[in-house]
Amino acid sequence: MREGSQRIARFTVEVQRLLGGESETVALRFADGMKGGIGQPVRNVVSIAGTSHLPALGSCSVLLWSPPPRPFFHRADPSGDGASDLTDAVFILDHLFTGGRAPHCLESADVNNDGALDISDAIAHLGYLFTGGVPPAEPGPSTALCGIDPDEVGSPKDLGCGTYDQC
């Protein structure tokens, strides 16, 4: 490399998240005067043809954060009243077509858990309630135990669940 850039070392940095902290920052920066177990304090310097060149010094800042806890919820209870019933199918239709309020827990309204809140969720829920159709996806309706969304946070099928007070 007469000119250009190359990696000259790789570091693995280990950090323990502090208990109770929302976010922290780990910062890496170059500094003169650092001393290993042996040898003299080290200077940041680059030698070309035996002459010292003082380099420009970059830095690296890494944000550490904790993902928010995922709320437990019942599928097919977008109204949030603790029961997966006809009012929830109506709630979905009302939200989709007449401007009704959005559910506090979107995942609860995604009855078939296909990653989209649409009319198929209302139909699936009505089918389950009245024609013996497939039960709502995990963690299941109010007759099942509360649970979390099986999809990874941030995955395409994860719609999120802001709040759900019935678990």
Residues of the shown chain interacting with another protein in the complex, contacts defined by CB under 8 A: 1-21, 24-67
Nearer CB in complex with another protein: 42/102: 42
Shortest CB 149 distance to another protein, Å: 17
Shortest CB 155 distance to another protein, Å: 15
Shortest CB 54 distance to another protein, Å: 8
Nearer CB in complex with another protein: 33/132: 33
Nearer CB in complex with another protein: 58/156: 58
d(CA 28, CA 62): 8
Shortest CB 29 distance to another protein, Å: 5
38: three-class secondary structure by DSSP? coil
Q: What string of DSSP letters covers 91-158?
A: HHHHHHHS-PPPPS-HHHH-TT-SS--SHHHHHHHHHHHHS--PPPSTT-STTSPPB--SSPTTSTT-
Residue 18: Cβ within 10 Å count: 11
Nearer CB in complex with another protein: 36/132: 36
